[in-house]
A and B are shown apart, each in its own frame.
Chain A
Amino acid sequence: MNVLLLICLLLAAGLVAWASERIRPNLPNWVALTTFVLATLWVVFAWLSGPHEGGLYAEQFYSWIPRFGINVILKVDGLSLMLIGLTMLLGAVAVVSSWTETTTRRGFFQFNILWVMAGVVGVFSAFDLFLFFFFWEVMLIPMYFLIAIWGHEDRSYASMKFFLFTQISGLLMLVAIVALVWIHYSTHGVLSFDYHTLLGAELDDSVARLLMLGFFVAFITKLPSVPLHTWLPDAHTQAPTAGSVILAGILLKTGAYGIVRFVVTLFPEASRDFWIYGMALGVASILYGGFMAYSQSDFKRLVAYSSIAHMGFVLVGVYSFNDLGMQGAIVTMIAHGFSTAALFMMAGALQERLHTREMSKMGGLWVKAPRMGAVTMFFVIASVGMPGLGNFIGEFLVLLGAFQKNVFLTICAAIGIVVAAVYGLSLMQRSFQGTPNPDVPEMRDFAFREMSAMIVLMVALVWLGVYPQHVLSMTDAILPMLGVAP
């Protein structure tokens, strides 16, 4: 599997999709969908054919700017492959979900989606810090366009907020990257942005802590964790459905991935000393996110806050520094990708039908659209953490891992499960159950197109919940690399 080829494919497909709008307005959708389905199959094929020596599924090296030690180093290990697979699958789902929603400038719309995805794939596979930062920015700007052009009523505020938060935190990371490279250069005399070279950088404790914080802040902004989360509810709420799906399903994962791949490994000592803060932030996210989710009356906003709570589990898991927590964090990332993406699709479908996201204007929708009700119920239950579905596996493993580290914080995190039940069921009650709202017009139920996307996600969640071993064994091998004892 050649990752660069995959990225180029996505970039090229973006251009083709943009151009194809002139032939027929619906053609960009087909181009994007085909690309994502093919890419998904490609990833699945790579997965089935197994890793090469050294546990890598792909490895590419191209010289880029040799003078500064910047190269195109792309590697795909189990974690990366899984996240890339998730990305491609959710890409297809996002395209399906916005099939009829977007009516203006579809070509440019799909172009942006494809380019975001290209950036994300790059982020998940770049093993050169400069390249990583490059892709980090590549995925940011099309996303900004997606929100700013096709968003809802408050889009300019939301997109600007999104942009500023991620950009400023990204700059912090850039500073940290450059400083790290410089320090490595001044001690070893080798100017290199290569991840594996930089792993050997010898840093003072205080310096390492500062640099680690630079990365950490960038990633928890993206994750996001309390208190840097406030861009997310606005961005999610205002983004078009596909944008929300991508944001929640994938872009948040880049933050988590960054922590796992870079913060923990590049600064092992500093991160280990930092565990209590990381974990506490995670717990704060869980509780505060859940609490805020309950207080929302906007369907999408509620789901957005619930994402914060779920990503808190990731943070807790990573900072438990053991195999259970780490694996739990990874499974949570994947499962959250599926469940929340589906809920955002549901919010989008409701908005398309009812032209509102306000739950006080819904109520009793089950009567009108039983399929949508059942599907929503499924995903609400999944995100509440029902055993047998993916989210539970992740959250339980996280709790199990965290419990070894700190009992008190684990208890607080476990309370988050109760809060999840409170907001999840309140979402269900306010939108689909209760007295049917007489003001709600007749709405059509899910048809084949939407249902098939949902079924894919449902099957994925059940699979993850009943047999998570596929995912667990893929990341098992790389746990030592992530600084976690197996």
Chain B
Amino acid sequence: MGYWLFWIAGGIAILSAFAAITRMNASHALIYLVITLLSIAVIFFLLGAPFAAALEIVIYAGAIVVLFLFVVMMLNLGRRAVERERQWLLPGIWVIPAIMAGALFIVLGIALSGSEHEAVIEGTMVGPKEVGRSLLGPYILGVELAAVLLLAALVGAFHLGRRYIEERREK
């Protein structure tokens, strides 16, 4: 049961991911991305990581992708952008990336299938409590660093945005 659920969610994730990178309209692509993220959240849930699944939905789908959408809307791309996308996305451009991706898939597949014993995920739940313990225990330094990273991103984003705003004001 869980196994089939997993592959249903995984298939949706793959299909929608593929759709996300091939759409001409950025908004549509982002919606497909949200679908991918949601299916991944389902998989997380299946794997016994409900906390991760929740964060996936809340922060990824809910915050980050929405941020994308805001920017897309702000830039006001419209129909001409779609036309341009169509010109850029020529069939020939696929060839090399596809070959390389295929090659990498085959190589990794060989590497993965090489293992002898069957590794099966039991699906035992690891709840938020353990995650929290672990985060603020052995990983406390990582948390601090992540905080610094976020601060840096904050400052950087502010800097980039402020210039934009000031220049607009001058006009």
Taking the complex as a whole, does A directly touch B, i.e. does some CB pair lie under 8 Å apart?
Answer: no
Give me the interface of B with A, judged by CB distance under 8 Å. none
Give me the interface of A with B, judged by CB distance under 8 Å. none
